[in-house]
């Protein structure tokens, strides 16, 4: 029976043939450098781990109770030479790991534009990276190609040997954009923009997915990634421009944004050039104030008490999960753009209507320095609690 004890182990070996080693055998220079970093770090740590494990077995065997030849020193408690070995070796490993990590952190910074497409293959100064705007939706991925003017759902096509710059955001909850064959993962967050640079140096079809749990349809949040020769990529763009999905304008995006699972590949022949910036600033809805406008107004002192009436009912936030049920008796609201039509007084949570015409925001007199204030000045300079 002893000769058959290894049969279960040998029987499990064929199962390993299905393992995907794409992290250690990628198709892009950035991912390859990251894979090399993993291997190097593992080897450095094994320089300590393996001897410690071997010595643990050796000492257990050498000083077992049955070995009467082993030296027995019950009062021994210190050895300077042994202390030097125990502490010096791990310290040297930590120094090496720290140096390697410091260099790799800067060289592989996802925000850093690429300097090469491979070892010894520098990128020429006149080569422009391909811009791809990525939006994590529930539960699918939207890719916008501003240069080509097209967009896709759950399909990412890239030309080989051309640097790619991703601008990444999310529509509702935090996600993680990850194409193991191309580069490391980076988070996609609502109201924020992250960047990632990468390049394919091999053609083929790969897979991307979300590496961060984001709800019910997370497990199906995967997409196809195609690395194509330049000519085939141009053909793919032409095919996408002929798609029957139509244009991806803001209203089409709001429909697409609603949660869905197992979305098939979809292609849009044209896109709104301002769509991604509107997604980042959370103002895709017509009439909603963008975050950058809101921050600019706040930086200049705010819009005064009149701004409290600048709100509208949310009509689709229940799909995007951006709002809450709000205070009892109030509807969920968002800030309306200042250039939009005036809101009805019935749409105000409180406060009386104020004429915004004479308001200037920044530069209004300080309440304590104005000897005589009119009712309007008093209302517009009073802080909003």
Question: Is the CB of residue 167 less than 8 Å from the CB of residue 145?
Answer: no
**Are 122 and 244 in the same domain?**
yes
- pLDDT-derived band at 206 (thresholds 50, 70, 90) equals very high
**Are 324 and 268 in the same domain?**
no
pTM of the predicted structure, to 2 decimals = 0.74
**Are 131 and 274 in the same domain?**
yes
**Are 194 and 93 in the same domain?**
no
Q: CATH code at 203? A: 2.60.40.420
Last residue of a domain, one of 223, 255, 280: 280
With residue 278 as reference, give the H or E element that holds it. helix 275-280
Number of structural domains found in the chain: 3
**Are 50 and 173 in the same domain?**
no
Per-residue pLDDT tens over the stretch 74-117 = 888 888 888 898 889 889 999 999 988 888 888 888 888 888 88
Cα–Cα distances (Å) from 9 to 3, 13, 14, 18, 185, in that order, read: 12, 7, 10, 16, 34
Per-residue pLDDT tens over the stretch 314-366 = 544 444 444 444 433 334 566 777 654 333 333 333 333 334 444 444 444 55
- pLDDT computed for residue 107 by the predictor: 84
Question: Is the CB of residue 291 less than 8 Å from the CB of residue 282?
Answer: yes
The answer to the question of residue 286 being in a domain is: no
Provide mean pLDDT across the span 140-166: 94
What is d(CA 364, CA 370) in angstroms, rounded to the nearest whole number? 10
- pLDDT computed for residue 15 by the predictor: 56
Structural domain containing residue 101? 20-60+80-108
Last residue of a domain, one of 258, 280, 302: 280
Cα end-to-end distance, the chain, whole Å:
81
The answer to the question of residue 69 being in a domain is: no
Last residue of a domain, one of 228, 257, 280: 280
Q: Which two tokens stand for residue 17?
A: 């043939």
**Are 139 and 263 in the same domain?**
yes
Please compute, for residue 176, the number of CA atoms within 13 A of its CA located in the half-sphere on the CB side.
15
């Amino acid at each position: 029976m002893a000769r058959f004890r290894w049969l279960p182990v040998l029987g499990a070996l064929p199962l390993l043939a299905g393992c995907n080693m794409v992290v250690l055998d990628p198709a892009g220079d950035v991912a390859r450098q990251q894979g090399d970093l993993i291997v190097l770090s593992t080897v450095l740590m094994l320089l300590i781990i393996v001897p410690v494990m071997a010595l643990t077995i050796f000492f257990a065997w050498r000083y077992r109770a049955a070995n009467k030849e082993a030296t027995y020193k019950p009062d021994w408690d210190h050895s300077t030479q042994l202390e030097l070995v125990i502490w010096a070796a791990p310290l040297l490993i930590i120094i090496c790991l720290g140096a390697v990590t410091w260099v790799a952190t800067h060289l592989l910074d996802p925000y850093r534009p690429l300097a090469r497409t491979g070892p010894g293959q520098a990128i020429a100064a006149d080569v422009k990276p391909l811009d791809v705007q990525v939006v994590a939706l529930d539960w699918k991925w939207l890719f916008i190609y501003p240069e080509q003017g097209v967009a896709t759902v759950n399909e990412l096509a890239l030309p080989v040997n051309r640097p790619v710059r991703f601008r990444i955001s999310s529509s509702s909850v935090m996600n993680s954009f990850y194409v193991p064959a191309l580069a490391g993962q980076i988070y996609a967050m609502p109201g924020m923009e992250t960047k990632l640079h990468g390049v394919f140096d091999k053609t083929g079809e790969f897979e991307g997915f979300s590496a961060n749990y984001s709800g019910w349809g997370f497990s199906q949040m995967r997409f196809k990634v195609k690395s194509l020769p330049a000519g085939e990529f141009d053909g793919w763009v032409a095919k996408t421009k002929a798609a029957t999905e139509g244009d991806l304008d803001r209203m089409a995006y709001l429909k697409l944004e609603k949660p869905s699972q197992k979305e098939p590949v979809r292609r849009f022949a044209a896109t709104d050039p301002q769509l991604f910036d509107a997604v980042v600033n959370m103002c895709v809805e017509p009439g909603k104030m963008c975050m950058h406008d809101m921050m600019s107004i706040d930086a200049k002192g705010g819009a005064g008490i009149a701004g409290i009436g600048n709100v509208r009912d949310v009509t689709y936030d229940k799909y995007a999960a951006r709002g809450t049920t709000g205070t009892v008796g109030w509807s969920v609201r968002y800030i309306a753009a200042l250039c939009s039509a005036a809101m009805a007084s019935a749409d105000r949570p409180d406060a009386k209507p104020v004429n915004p015409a004479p308001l200037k925001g920044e530069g209004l007199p300080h309440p304590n320095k104005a000897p005589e204030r009119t009712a309007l000045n008093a209302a517009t300079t009073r802080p909003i609690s």
